[in-house]
Chains A and B, each alone.
Chain A
Amino acid sequence: MARYDSPLDALGDTPLVCLPRLSPTNSVRLWAKLEDRNPTGSVKDRVAQAMLRAAERDGRLRPGATIIEPTSGNTGISLAMAARLRGYHLVCVMPENTSAERRELLAAYGARVVLSPAAGGSNQAVAVARQLAAENPDWVMLYQYGNPANADAHYHTTGPEILRDLPWITHFVAGLGTTGTLVGAGRFLREHKPDVQVIAAEPRYGELVYGLRNLDEGFVPELYDPDVLTGRFSVGSLDALRRTRELLEVEGIFAGISTGAVLHAALAVAEKAAGVGDAADVVFVVADGGWKYLSTGAYTGDLKEAAERLDSQLWA
């Protein structure tokens, strides 16, 4: 059944597709979980709706309330749609080095965007959002980095969907941002199949993003639980972009750039399995489509030049 009572209800239950051309062998296969098939086109729709529902249940959110959230884009866009339909105002704090499409989309949905400095990346967005929340005590910060509803959304939906569709899964690979996808879906999968490998692909940006004044300004999301993970890769702009293009050219999937980083890690574990003669079914998350990144020039032209342009941008 694919009939829904409202646009927000068309959430989750996304396709899991095999990628026969990118899979290393017939017994080591790659599977893409297409999270761009959600209401606003990203995996964050699951998180936004879960956080909103939890806050409504707790009585933190009342009709007409103003929500504030630090976001590099997708969570903001998901919240903006849901907030508009459920009668809330939204203020998003977003680093200025994010793509123009993200800002345009937020504005189109009626959200107010406050830009934070590029240096320091999302750390700065979190700091600015905290400050604004302190100055406006009636605003509600859902705080995706520490909100249990974020990981719970994946524990209750993404993880079970994957296990239902591919009970013989051996590896789960996703991007590491708030850590909600990996910790939530990973925890569910390992509870049901303790041998499943849970692999994080973390974006490695240009130096600007790591421009902290001291190490104690560093940030690890409160949701992060390293015990759920079995491995963690750092993937730079060039590898992420190369794989994003490869996914489009070889399998026809037009994904966002963070998906390229995730594919890079997925191929690393798949090729390792193939190298030692193990069978493997590697599921990786396509967090969003490529639409929001077209203005960065990522998809055509010289690969190295495009990667250099991306290096100071937050592409995940």
Chain B
Amino acid sequence: MAVSVSIPTILRTHTDGAKTVEASGGTLAQLIDDLDGRYLGIKARLVTDGSLHRFVNVYVNDEDVRFSGGLQAAVADGDTVTILPAVAGG
């Protein structure tokens, strides 16, 4: 079993249009490295200067990773990772 990763429309150019892909890793950073091995260039869109891009939000099982260790947040087989661009609410 792997981690299911939901890709937002804006990043699907890297995944041949796939909405959901699988990846593996014990931390979010490892997971993103694994993704980049298959979908070249996606890491550069998600990570700038060693941390998550300002306008990218990543959730592990619906919880924002910025409150659970950022790129070092733990992920495990069976988890769902959701990547979304930051948009306005209100």
- For the complex formed, measure the closest distance between the CB of A147 and the CB atoms of chain B, giving whole angstroms: 11
- For the complex formed, measure the closest distance between the CB of A150 and the CB atoms of chain B, giving whole angstroms: 9
Chain A interface size, under 10 / 10 to 19 / 20 to 34 / 35 or more = 35 or more
A177 touching B90, Cβ below 8 Å: yes
Q: Which of chain B's residues have a CB closer than 8 A to the CB of A144?
A: 90
Contact with B along A142-168 (1 / 0, CB 8 A): 001100000000000000000000000
Which listed residue (A70, A219, A233) contacts B87, Cβ 8 A?
A: A219
A234/B55 contact (C-beta < 8 A), A177-B89, A207-B8, A221-B88 known: no
Contact with B along A114-142 (1 / 0, CB 8 A): 00000011110110000000000000000
B89 touching A72, Cβ below 8 Å: yes
CB-nearest residue of chain A relative to B82?
A234
- In whole angstroms, how far apart are the Cα atoms of A221 and B86 in the complex? 10
- For the complex formed, measure the closest distance between the CB of A36 and the CB atoms of chain B, giving whole angstroms: 17
A229 at the interface (CB under 8 A from B): yes
CB-nearest residue of chain A relative to B45?
A215
Chain B interface size, under 10 / 10 to 19 / 20 to 34 / 35 or more = 20 to 34
Which listed residue (A72, A204, A209, A213) contacts B90, Cβ 8 A?
A: A72
A122 touching B88, Cβ below 8 Å: yes
- In whole angstroms, how far apart are the Cα atoms of A176 and B90 in the complex? 8
- For the complex formed, measure the closest distance between the CB of B7 and the CB atoms of chain A, giving whole angstroms: 11
> 19 A-B contacts, Cβ less than 8 Å apart?
A72-B89, A120-B87, A122-B90, A125-B88, A176-B89, A177-B88, A177-B89, A202-B64, A207-B9, A214-B10, A218-B56, A218-B87, A229-B67, A231-B63, A231-B64, A232-B67, A233-B59, A234-B57, A234-B59
Q: Which residues of B contact A (CB under 8 A)?
A: 8-10, 45, 53-57, 59, 62-64, 66-67, 82, 84-90
Q: Which residues of A contact B (CB under 8 A)?
A: 70-72, 75, 120-123, 125-126, 144-145, 175-178, 200, 202-204, 207, 209-221, 226, 229-235, 316
